[in-house]
């Protein structure tokens, strides 16, 4: 999916995203701003500069859900209600149970209104002694709603108000929100864009692995896209090779999906392997210069250290690539010559 849009009111950006995408960057790099802009744009509410595969987006084309996972439980629950996640789940279940027969839904709403009418009469009869003091003052509990969709926000608001008293751990609250998101994807077939800011905030590595695996299963069996942001290195180790990786640096969006290209270039920069060629020749003929067996061997040697060191580069503004740890500096220490060349190649690309 190819996106075109204006980022930070600057020149037009062109981005090719996959089904699972993670945007890394340091604090204040613009990740949250980018995700909010994408949320608006996929919803058809953004600027006219946004296009997907050179086509404009209609308001009903995607079911878009945006979340900031770093919020507390009650903030998340309210956010879910505002973005209609809970409403959508409850509505989908009610309508699915009645096989989406509108007449059944109408009868349910009528029954609710009738029950509230009866309750109003009972309450008014209890307080009838007040009629002498407050003439013509009656309680009316009828909601006058015409559909379940109108009724659900009232129910959800009540649930949220009740839960204000409860205390939930950050871990449990995040597990609940992810469970709601995955459940909704399963029960609704509409094309979705799930946007989660700080998706791995305060999650331990075990949960990060679990949720990334869940997302991989979801994109394989349902029509959805995940757009995530992070400023932690742990998730990169488990998304490396499984997600499209981007970095926000110096107000630019850098695509790091083709890590193998940087690795091949690094192999050729190694004095023991050096081959004289222009960069254009390298791009066109990498398959001639680097054998697949050689590439796989190098990848297996450094597959553990590269994501960690690369992650430090992606989530920090200032760092130093060095042979040893430097005091008071974010030091990135490569484990081999190839890794050093690889990280230097990435560093040049990020700072272009």
Cα(289)–Cα(277) distance, rounded to whole angstroms? Answer: 10
Indicate whether 343 and 203 sit together in one domain.
Answer: no
Query: What pTM was estimated for this model as a whole?
Result: 0.75
Range of the domain at 325: 259-350
pLDDT at 52 over 80: yes
Please report the pLDDT score of residue 261 as a whole number.
76
Q: Which two tokens stand for residue 221?
A: 């069996």
Query: What percent of the chain is predicted at pLDDT more than 90?
Result: 22
In a domain, 338, yes or no: yes
In this predicted structure, which of 17-31, 144-158, 191-205 has the lowest mean pLDDT? 144-158
Per the listing, tokens 């659900």 go with 152
DSSP 79-144: HHHHTTHHHHHHHHHHHHHTTT-HHHHHHHHHHHHHHHHHHHHHHHHHTGGGGGTSTT--------
* Residues whose CB is less than 8 angstroms from the CB of residue 318 and which lie 6 or more positions away in sequence, other chains included: 329, 330
From 206, 239, 255, the end of a domain falls on 255
Cα(254)–Cα(249) distance, rounded to whole angstroms? Answer: 7
Indicate whether 28 and 10 sit together in one domain.
Answer: yes
Cβ contacts of 174-178, under 8 Å, gap ≥ 24: 174/69, 174/76, 174/202, 174/203, 174/207, 175/207, 176/73, 176/76, 177/67, 177/69, 177/76, 177/80, 178/211, 178/214
In a domain, 6, yes or no: yes
Q: Dihedral sign, CA of 103, 108, 113, 115?
A: positive
Best mean pLDDT range from 48-57, 92-101, 314-323? 314-323
Indicate whether 17 and 34 sit together in one domain.
Answer: yes
In a domain, 33, yes or no: yes
**For residue 321, what is the DSSP state?**
E
pLDDT at 189 over 60: yes
From 255, 270, 293, the end of a domain falls on 255
Please report the pLDDT score of residue 176 as a whole number.
75
pLDDT at 31 over 90: yes
The domain total for the chain is 2
Best mean pLDDT range from 143-152, 160-169, 214-223? 214-223
**Model confidence band, residue 282 (pLDDT cutoffs 50, 70, 90):** very low
Mean pLDDT along residues 209-219: 93
CATH number at residue 231: 3.40.50.300
pLDDT at 337 over 60: yes
In a domain, 205, yes or no: yes
Indicate whether 263 and 345 sit together in one domain.
Answer: yes
**Model confidence band, residue 161 (pLDDT cutoffs 50, 70, 90):** low
Query: What percent of the chain is predicted at pLDDT more than 70?
Result: 61
Please report the pLDDT score of residue 126 as a whole number.
59
pLDDT at 283 over 50: no
From 255, 274, 299, the end of a domain falls on 255
pLDDT, one tens digit per residue, over 226-256 is 999 999 888 888 887 789 999 999 888 999 9
Indicate whether 307 and 266 sit together in one domain.
Answer: yes
């Amino acid at each position: 999916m190819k996106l075109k849009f204006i980022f930070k009111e600057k020149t037009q950006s062109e981005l090719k995203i996959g089904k699972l995408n993670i945007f890394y960057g340091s604090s204040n790099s613009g990740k949250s701003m980018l995700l909010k802009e994408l949320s608006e744009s996929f919803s058809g509410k953004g600027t006219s500069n946004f296009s997907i595969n050179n086509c404009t987006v209609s308001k009903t084309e995607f079911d878009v859900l945006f979340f900031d996972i770093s919020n507390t439980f009650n903030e998340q629950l309210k956010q879910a209600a505002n973005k209609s996640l809970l409403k959508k789940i409850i509505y989908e279940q009610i309508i699915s149970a009645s096989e989406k027969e509108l007449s059944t839904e109408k009868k349910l709403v009528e029954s609710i209104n009738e029950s509230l009418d009866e309750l109003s009469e009972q309450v008014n009869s209890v307080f009838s002694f007040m009629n002498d003091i407050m003439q013509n003052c009656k309680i009316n509990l009828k909601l006058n709603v015409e559909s379940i969709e109108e009724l659900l926000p009232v129910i959800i608001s009540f649930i949220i108000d009740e839960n204000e008293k409860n205390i939930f751990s950050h871990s449990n609250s995040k597990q609940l929100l992810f469970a709601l998101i995955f459940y909704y994807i399963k029960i609704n077939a509409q094309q979705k864009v799930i946007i989660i800011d700080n998706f791995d905030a305060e999650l331990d590595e075990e949960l990060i692995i679990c949720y990334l695996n869940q997302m991989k299963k979801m994109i394989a069996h349902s029509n959805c896209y995940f757009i995530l942001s992070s400023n932690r290195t742990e998730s990169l180790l488990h998304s490396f090779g499984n997600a499209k990786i981007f970095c926000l640096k110096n107000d630019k969006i850098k695509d790091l999906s083709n890590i193998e290209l940087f690795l091949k270039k690094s192999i050729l920069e190694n004095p023991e392997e050096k081959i004289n060629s222009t960069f254009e020749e390298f791009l066109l003929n990498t398959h001639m210069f680097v054998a697949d067996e050689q590439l796989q061997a190098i990848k297996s040697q450094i597959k553990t250290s590269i994501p960690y060191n690369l992650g430090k580069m992606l989530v920090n503004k200032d760092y130093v690539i060095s042979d040893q740890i430097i005091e008071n500096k974010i030091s990135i220490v490569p484990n081999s010559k190839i890794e050093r060349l690889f990280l230097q190649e990435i560093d040049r690309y990020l700072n272009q």
